[in-house]
Structure 1
């Protein structure tokens, strides 16, 4: 059995994984975000309450592990930042530990049991609180040792002059420290920032999407610019990766017609011609962080036994 954890800033979600089709969510406990000893104690409690001694512990974390140094950066869980997290957890839990970024786990889940089933190259897209993603090739993360692959939301690439009639956007500051990132203007908060810049009016991203769906003029203008901002970079990602499918998750992806509009915009700009959608809503029915962690742990168990 693989003990799976989805580590968020407020809660640690737990699951027991026996096989890809047998992943059992076991509830959640609060995250001791500023107390590493308390964090380890919560994990040990989950181990102690498991029906058997786990073979491994697999983690989805809302952060990243540097592949060169092994150091973790987890913005919303300060007690984990700066640690050689895999080594520390293996020593503290006395179990083999597998770690992956939450976007990578989302992509693994979609590739294994979601919209990416049966495809060789799956790009998991996050469109919600942030813009991010993960890449799975033939069932394995492309960055198996950790790192930053799939983080298409960061980098100073956001187009600034666009639309009909044309509008010039500022280079919005991003939380990563750069300016002009897609994350800063195309996430849910970014969409709201874009709408306010275009129209001088505040609106929630759900209100903007609903207004676009209803044909409201200001919201339609915002979404047209948003689609133009995203579709060019996504087309470049597709031309580079050759993804067979892009599964979209996150809050904005709940608007399926918005994802369909993004799919049409991207397919109009790529070299490969599809007679089916390329960008589709995510399908994983269980918590994707837990499922992705389970897939990671199960695959590493097989590899270690080989």
Structure 2
């Protein structure tokens, strides 16, 4: 059995797969935000829950925000900032008493779609995660393209292109710079944009629901979001000219997108 774990900013999702790819089990839990040890425990308990229920053990792979540095062997560039600087794969391997393989979540999405999804048979896939953060990854000929530093495709920390006067210099990003794409088109970015425009805090889901109901402020917020998303994607088309762009993450499920 293969056990897959998707570690997101707000949820951790688990899946158990048979050797032929059949889904045997699936569940999700809230992410212990800001709690590194709690995150390790939550994943350990989730894996053990699957194994108890199915009465078999499995290999474990985890999709994470950010990447594992080839130099320090610790997590870097994760919007779930409590992971940064931690030996996440090693700590999880110790907790589960087996080797655990970790990879960038957007790279996982790119390879999955290149294998048997929207990018099957295509040469270059650019995959985007629009969730708590904003990640990106690439697959070339069905294989991950990591780049020399392991950050190929990480468009979230490039500046929003063709920035308008009212957008400059952009919101402060946790990376230390301003105006990063992630601060605009992540789910968090959507919420912050609505708050700046209205003075009211809403969740991304509430904003989307209000836009469907015809609330003017929410509709305008989604209009701005779509404009910034398309500008950002257009920049990647100019650079990569991919065969397919795949959207993942919570915001990708918004109908109007």
Moved more, 218-227 or 128-137: 218-227
Alpha-carbon shift at residue 100 of structure 1 (Å): 0.9
SS in 2 for 1:69: coil
Cα 1:44–1:115 change in 2 (3 A) is: closer
Stretches of structure 2 that go unaligned for 5 or more consecutive residues are: none
Is the CA contact 1:121–1:243 (under 8 Å) kept in the aligned structure 2? yes
Alpha carbons of 1:31 and 1:193: their partners in 2 closer, same or farther (altered >3 Å)?
Answer: closer
How far apart, CA to CA, are the structure 2 residues paired with 1:31 and 1:228?
30
Show the counterpart of 1:135: 138
Q: After superposition, what is the alpha-carbon deviation per residue over 1:29-57, rounded to whole angstroms, capped at 9, x for unaligned?
A: 77674437846853773586364453x32
Runs of 5+ unmatched residues, structure 1? 260-306
Query: Equivalent residue for 2:234?
Result: 235
Cα separation, 2, equivalents of 1:196 and 1:8: 23
Contact 1:34 1:77 in 2 (8 A): no
- Provide the residue aligned with 1:180 in structure 2: 179
Matched residues in 1 for 2:95 and 2:236: separation?
39
Higher mean displacement: 105-114 or 131-140: 105-114
1:157-176 alignment runs, 5 A limit? 157-161=160-164, 167-176=166-175
Offset, 1:179: 0.4
Matched with 1:18 is 18
Q: Which has the higher contact order (CA 8 A, sep 6+)?
A: 1
Question: Within 2, Cα distance between the matches of 1:45 and 1:182?
Answer: 37
The residue aligned with 1:286 is none
What is the TM-score with the length of structure 1 in the denominator? 0.64
Q: Post-superposition shift, 1:136?
A: 1.5
SS class of match (1:153) = helix
Greater shift in the superposed pair: 173-182 or 223-232: 223-232
Give the aligned partner of residue 117 of structure 2: 114
| Superposition RMSD in Å | 3.8
Structure 2 residue 246 is the aligned partner of structure 1 residue 244? no
Q: Which has the larger radius of gyration?
A: 1
Is it true that 1:99 corresponds to 2:112 in the alignment? no
